[in-house]
Structures are given as C-alpha cells and as structure tokens.
C-alpha cells in the first residue's frame, strides 16, 4: 500500500489532514469537505457502502462532473464563437471534452496514483484517467459550488489546453471521416473485429479494416470502439491523399 492509499484508508484526523494537504497541492486549493475527494478516488470494485446502504464510489461524481464540465465548456464556446451555429458548437465541445482529451488531463494530474481499487492499476484501460478527472470535477462542485468549479475548469482546462483555431481543424473521429468519405465516393468500408487476448491479462480486441475488400490497416485495443478508431486513424493517414483530393 502506497503513501496515498494509507492516507485515504486511514480514519485518523492526522491522515485526513495529510490527504487534504495532498489535494491542495495537486488542485491548488484547500478542500472544505474531504469526503467528496475520498469518494472521487474510490472504485466500485471495493464495494463500499455508507450508513444508509448506498454505494460509495466515483461513478455518481463522474456523472455530475461530466455534466458540469460540458455546461462550462458550452458557455465558453457560446461566448467565444458568436457566429457558430448549433452543429459547430456541439462539434467543438465534443473535441474539448473528448475521452482522449479528458484522459490526457487525468494523466497530467496523475489521478490514477490516488485511486483505491481491488484492481491493479496496470489492468485499467486509458479511460480511467478521464473518469477520475470528471469525478474530481463533480467533487469540487459538491464541495465548493458551481462558480468555483467554473473557475477551476477555466484555469485547468480552457486556458492551458483550448486553442479554438487548432481545434477547428482537429479530427475527433477518424472512423466517421472514413465512413462519410466512403459513402460519398461509393467505396465499401468493412471492419472485422475479433477478440485478441494474446499474452495480456486484460482482454483486447483486434480490428482489420478493409477498403473494397483490400486490407488497409489494423488496430488493437481494450475495446472494440477504440480498436476501430486506431485502425481508422492508420487508414486515414495511409489514404488521405485520396480522401482530400
């Protein structure tokens, strides 16, 4: 058990104060109610419950954080891009709060080092990083309120990471690009997905992507969706001279 685990799991006042100090150092402010942050790092595999019999884990805070983050980003884009229509604003918000981007934010804060679980950290997929980041947003909202959370999102997400011009040219789904192009150009795209455990303890999926029955690329990941996206990205860069011609 590492230092953080001992602090979170210990009921003593001293360790609670130590955890509060760690949170302050990581997030830049002192928590008022440390229990929200304990919950934000508790995985459902521990099967913890409170005195009312309700489960204690980060999933509810993750749900709340996802909604709060989306609302703050939507408000920012509404003001920042006055000429943007609904479709464009929705697309831009999706780019900022994409699972890939949230995973990067969670990794930057090293949130996985705080998670309490019966599952070894190395067995988690990449999405654990983004899930924990959303849970932290939910915890901050419960602890400090909306306006404080909004300021935190501006400082930690919008100001350091959001570049409107760069994002407007960013592709968020290579699979969608390929499918749209194939429909317009009357090409046949086919994904062949199969389980590929290999030597890994965690189940993986492999994908073969065919264009007009010709194998173009492959992808492998811990979910079918991610494997398809990896294969799509590789295919896009292989044939983008055709797609963009």
Q: In order of start, what are the domains of the chain with their CATH numbers?
A: 3-167 (1.10.1520.10), 174-243 (3.30.160.20)
pLDDT confidence bin for 200, thresholds 50/70/90: low
pLDDT at 7: 44
Distant-in-sequence, close-in-space partners of 202: CB < 8 Å, separation ≥ 6: 123, 125, 222
Closest C-alpha among 208, 207, 225, 205 to residue 216: 208
For residue 69, give both structure tokens: 């983050």
* Tens-place pLDDT, residues 71-125: 999 999 999 999 888 988 988 898 889 888 899 999 988 999 899 999 888 888 8
Q: Would you please indicate which residues are annotated as catalytic (active-site) residues?
A: 66, 134
* Tens-place pLDDT, residues 6-37: 444 554 544 567 888 888 888 889 999 999 99
pLDDT surpassing 50 at residue 1: no
């Amino acid at each position: 058990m590492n230092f953080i685990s001992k602090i979170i799991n210990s009921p003593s006042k001293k360790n609670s104060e130590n955890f509060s100090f760690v949170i302050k150092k990581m997030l830049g402010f002192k928590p008022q109610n440390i229990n929200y942050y304990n919950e934000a790092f508790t995985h459902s595999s521990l099967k913890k419950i409170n005195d009312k019999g309700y489960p204690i884990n980060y999933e509810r805070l993750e749900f709340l954080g996802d909604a709060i983050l989306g609302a703050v980003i939507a408000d920012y884009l509404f003001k920042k891009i006055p000429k943007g229509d609904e479709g464009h604003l929705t697309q831009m918000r999706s780019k900022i709060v994409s699972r890939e981007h949230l995973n990067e934010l969670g990794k930057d804060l090293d949130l996985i080092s705080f998670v309490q679980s019966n599952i070894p950290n190395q067995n988690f997929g990449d999405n654990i990083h983004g899930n924990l980041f959303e849970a932290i947003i939910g915890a901050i909202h419960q602890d400090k309120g909306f306006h404080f959370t909004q300021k935190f999102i501006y400082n930690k997400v919008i100001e350091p990471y959001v570049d409107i011009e760069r994002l407007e040219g960013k592709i968020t789904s290579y699979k969608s690009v390929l499918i749209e192009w194939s429909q317009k150009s009357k090409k046949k795209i086919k994904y062949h997905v199969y389980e590929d455990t290999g030597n890994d303890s965690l189940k993986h999926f492999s994908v073969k992507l065919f264009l007009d029955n010709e194998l173009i690329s492959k992808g492998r990941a811990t979910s079918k969706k991610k494997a398809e996206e990896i294969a799509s990205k590789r295919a896009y860069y292989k044939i983008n001279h055709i797609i963009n011609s």
